[in-house]
Amino acid sequence: MNNDPTNDKYVPNILIVDDISANLQILGDILESDGYKVRPVLNGELALEVAEAEKPDLILLDIMMPGMDGFEVCRRLKESEKLNDVPIIFISALNDSKDIVKALTYGGVDYITKPFRAEEVKARAATHIKLYLQQNELREQGIALTNLNATKDKFFSIIAHDLRAPFNGFLGLTQIMAEQLNSLPINQVQSIAASMRISATNLFNLLNNLLEWAQMQQGAILYKPIPIAVLPFVTEALKPALNTANRKGVSIGFSIPEYLTVFADYNMLASTIGNIVSNAVKFTPSEGTVSISAKPIEADMVEFAVKDTGIGMDNETLADMFKIDVSISRKGTDGEPSTGLGLLLCKDFIEKHGGRIWAESEEGKGSTFRFTLPAEKS
């Protein structure tokens, strides 16, 4: 059964709640004849459990039931963050206007009286399921539009601010070289050249992340997972970060079993490890350490951890770390620029694999970034 409402072959499912088996049979036959998936239950407690296990698209709910009546079931459903938007049609032999008003007041969208008329049941069910699915589609479109605007804002913010500052610094160094080269001692020329190299490297990394992130948002980066032996891969992926670490006096070590293998996209994993380790080095002062580890965990997944002894983060920064609509711009311990873009890219890459990424940190004591990837398929 395909339960994706956006799929043309999606079959809406209807939960029917009534303490009389004959009523369940009648309603089930009526709705199944229209092609719906029907789940009948005999009491309110079971209805709540079944709805929680698989969210229905519509609930037909009897009012007069022993134990938990329909009004109480409805109240509990409306208190559930997961289920409060599911339309509820009350069913009852009561047809007094006061009962109908009460049902609608509790959150019902409609009311059907017994004995059931097949065409009425079908028409009301079809109407409310159509409205519910349309509302879900509009909600998803709204979320997508919000994310699109946040992506656009983030993109232009980086171009307008985060990219301009390092370019200005780089241009300033080139101006000094162009105007004063003949009068500068060799050691100062070497120092300026080294600073230009660092600046150029930072700019390249930022532009590379920006390009990859933009391509990811447009779906232009292909996802091609393959078996990857973790230890040799990490050893190779660390080489660019090692140069920076050596310059800063930060030591990098790792603890990875030789047998460990993941099923991942090569370029995405390389970018993820590169970004996280580079961040760790960036926010770790001289004589600090960065350690990379990986281990198998349950559910055929592998957990990676990158731990540093750097400056750490406060709770607010930690909470906003992977949010696209929050700007996080912190300088490293040597004044290195940081936009937070690399971590957003890591999040997209890891979630593409069906994994997750998170961080743990304490100010002044360092940070640990963890992410999971699927193990190699047997």
CB 372 within 8 A of CB 303: yes
- 129 residue type, one letter: I
- 166 residue type, one letter: P
Query: What's the CA gap between 96 and 358, in Å, rounded?
Result: 55
* The pLDDT of residue 49 is above 60: yes
**The predicted structure's pLDDT at residue 12:** 92
**The predicted structure's pLDDT at residue 74:** 92
User: Which of 23-32, 236-245, 279-288 is least confident?
Assistant: 236-245
pLDDT tens, residue by residue, 214-269:
666 666 577 889 999 999 999 988 887 888 888 899 999 989 999 999 999 888 89
CB 155 within 8 A of CB 24: no
Ordered by start, the domain boundaries in the chain are: 13-140, 222-374
User: Which of the given ranges, 90-104, 145-159, 257-271, has the highest pLDDT on average?
Assistant: 257-271
**The predicted structure's pLDDT at residue 36:** 94
CATH superfamily of 222-374: Histidine kinase-like ATPase, C-terminal domain (3.30.565.10)
**The predicted structure's pLDDT at residue 253:** 92
pLDDT tens, residue by residue, 86-96:
999 998 877 66
Q: Which CATH entry fits the domain spanning 13-140: 3.90.1640.10, 3.40.50.2300, 3.40.50.20, 1.10.3660.10?
A: 3.40.50.2300
* The pLDDT of residue 122 is above 50: yes
Q: Which of 94, 93, 95 is closest to 114 using CA atoms?
A: 93
Query: What's the CA gap between 27 and 200, in Å, rounded?
Result: 70
Higher pLDDT, 114 or 367: 367
CB 2 within 8 A of CB 9: yes
End-to-end alpha-carbon separation of the chain, Å? 27
Quote the crossing angle between the two packed helices 266-282 and 186-217, to the nearest 10°.
Answer: 130
* The pLDDT of residue 28 is above 70: yes
- Report the pLDDT averaged over residues 155-178: 68
CB 231 within 8 A of CB 335: no
| Residue 32 CB-half CA count within 13 A | 10
Quickly state the pLDDT bin for 2 (edges 50, 70, 90).
Answer: very low
Query: What's the CA gap between 286 and 251, in Å, rounded?
Result: 9
**Model-level pTM?**
0.53
**The predicted structure's pLDDT at residue 139:** 86
